[in-house]
Structures are given as structure tokens and as C-alpha cells.
Amino acid sequence: MPPPDSSFDVAGALAHFRAHGWARLGVVAGSETLDRLRARADDIMLGRVVHEGLFFQRDSATGRYEDLEFGRGWEGPGLGYRKIEKLEIDPVFRAWLENPAFERVARAFIGDEIVIYRAMLFNKEARGGTDLPWHQDGGSFWGLSRDPELQIWTALDDAPAEAGCVEVVDGSHLGGLATPLGGTVPADVALRAGAEPRALPLPARAGEALLIHNYVWHRSGRNATGRPRRAFTTSYMSAATRCMRTRRAPRSFLRVFGRTALG
């Protein structure tokens, strides 16, 4: 894939990111790259490209997050998968998450030794997708010695508000975790924090990248455009991070930007 323009103001983007919990990098993927990433996403969902070990989850039939089913995995070809994880094992998505623009940002924020926690596709198909409530991407549920902070999210399609763009509560990352477990922000906590009137939509053009702090409260709605709304996101973290789970063998994390796997 052609490398993206990496001449943007990294220091300025990271300053905004630290203060607000999000920042725009601008359009970093051109039409050729987008065509390849979109085609790859569809090929994986339709079973034309198969990798052992991918995690699949379909949208709920109702569009309600509470009605999602877990643990079902691949359920046959279709474009109704809400998310696909572990895409770092796919060479096309691996090439994108290691592009020079993202490397500049990750090295400036994290340092030289970088691994990824996860690389995943978020998909809201043309028929609507699923509402995703306010949540944070960290906490004891993640089972890490330290929570990651940097996610880089790339819009593969236009993501206006009516397509279920990302929304954030600006600056909410500064308050830390809403609960020690992390994940979904409880309704009463969101109400006390005034999350609804503070909701800030972040519409994005196809090819645009956003920095999203793992602790910033974020959500997305359903897609009402009649067109797909696909996005690819990678969570980068320090190679010093360790998996703390004990019921199964600890996870290993993939070193990126010219490194090898970390045990």
C-alpha cells in the first residue's frame, strides 16, 4: 500500500490528545489504500480470506448492545459482523497498522519499544449495526500490568453523525476509570457526569484517522445512511506491559515497527 503522508504536526496532535482524550490526524489513507482495506474487510467477513484465530461477533438482531451474543465466532459468510479482532495476523491490515504515520505518533507518545494489544475492524453495515454505549477500553477486565492509552482509529468509509460516528465526552479520560473493572460506564455514573449533554460527535471522512485515549468515554450509534460504515482501530502500548491473567497462559503481544513477537 502507498505510505500515508506523515508530515502532519505530531506534537500538536498529541498535545490535543493529552488534553481532550482525542485528536484528529487528518486524512492519511488515499483511495487506493482504502479500496484495498475495504475489500479485505469484506473478503474476511464473507469467508473469501480465512485466518485461524480471528475473533468474530455479529450485530444483534435488534441493534441493542444488550442483545449481543458472545462466544459464537464465525457464523458463515455475511456483512453483519459487528467486529473482527486479531487482524494483526492479516498481512494487509498488519501493513496498515505499521505505516510510517502511525509509527511517528506511537513512538512520540510511547517510546521505541511498542506492541499492540489488539487490532480490529468495527463494522456498521448498511442495515443499521448496533448501538455501542459509553465505555472505556481499560480496567481489570483487560488483565494487564498497565492499561494502554493510545488507539489509532481509521475511517474506511465516510462516518458522518447519521452513520454512527464516534462520540466522546471531551476530557473524560482525565478522571481515570469510571469503575475498576472498566468497560461499559454504568448509567448512573454517566448521568451524574452529565455525559449526554457533553456528548461530542467526531464525524470523519473516509481515510481520516483519529487518536482515541483508552480512558476517554466513547460510544457510537446505529447507521442510518444505507451505506457501510467500516473502521479499523489499533491499540498500541509499551512493550513493558505484561498480561496478568492466571487461569490461562499469559498472552503474548506482537512487537511492531520492525520488531518481532514478544513472549
188 domain-assigned: yes
The rounded mean pLDDT for the chain is 92
What is the grid cell recorded at 5? 503522508
The burial of 66, by beta-carbon neighbours within 10 Å (0-12 exposed, 13-18 middle, 19 or more buried), is given as: exposed
Q: Is residue 153 part of a domain?
A: yes
Residues 124-144 have a mean pLDDT of 91
Name the band, by pLDDT with cuts 50, 70 and 90, for residue 261. very low
Asked whether 54 and 20 are in contact (CB, 8 A), the reply is no
Higher pLDDT, 263 or 237: 237
In a domain, residue 102? The reply is: yes
pLDDT number for residue 2: 74
Q: For the chain, what is the domain count?
A: 1
Q: What is the pTM of this model?
A: 0.93
In three-state secondary structure terms, 133 is strand
In a domain, 16, yes or no: no
pLDDT of residue 209: 97
Let me know if residue 4 belongs to a domain: no
Give 9-23 pLDDT, tens digit per residue: 999 999 999 999 999
135 in a domain, yes or no? yes
Average pLDDT over residues 231-236: 98
For the chain, how far is it from start to end, CA to CA, in angstroms? 29
How far, in Å, CA of 186 to CA of 135, rounded?
9
Q: What is the CATH number of the domain that holds 116?
A: 2.60.120.620
pLDDT in tens, 27-43: 999 999 999 999 999 99
Model confidence over 147-199: pLDDT tens digits? 999 999 999 999 999 999 999 999 999 999 999 999 999 999 999 999 999 99
Parent domain of 59: 21-262
- Please state whether beta strands 218-220 and 132-136 pair in parallel, antiparallel, or not at all (unpaired): antiparallel
Q: What tens digit of pLDDT does each residue of 53-93 get?
A: 999 988 877 777 776 777 777 888 998 898 999 999 999 99
Distance CA(119)–CA(126), nearest Å, equals 23
Residue 6 belongs to a domain: no
SS3 category, 234: strand
Residue 50: CB partners within 8 Å, gap ≥ 6?
44
> At a CB cut-off of 8 Å and minimum separation 6, what does 260 contact?
none
- Distance in angstroms (rounded) separating the CA atoms of residues 98 and 122: 19
